[in-house]
Amino acid sequence: MLSEKAIQIIKSTVPVLEVHGTAITKRFYEMLSVFPTLPAIRITGFP
């Protein structure tokens, strides 16, 4: 179970993720591309 503090932190990030979630995810997968030894994590065909 999550602590009350963890729940508050998660809830506080929702507005940012609503606006920037796609850009954050795209950048995350771009950064993963520098680690070709992690093929199980990489998603083929990600734009």
- Region 21-41 average pLDDT: 80
- What are the tokens at 2? 């999550």
Long-range contact pairs involving 38-43 (C-beta distance under 8 Å, separation at least 24): none
- Looking at residue 28, what is its pLDDT? 86
Instruction: Compute how many other C-beta atoms are within 10 angstroms of the C-beta atom of residue 29.
Output: 13
- What are the tokens at 36? 């070709």
First-to-last alpha carbon distance for the chain, in angstroms, is 35
Confidence bin at 35 (pLDDT 50/70/90): confident
Confidence bin at 41 (pLDDT 50/70/90): low
The whole-model pTM stands at 0.57
- Looking at residue 29, what is its pLDDT? 82
- Region 14-29 average pLDDT: 93
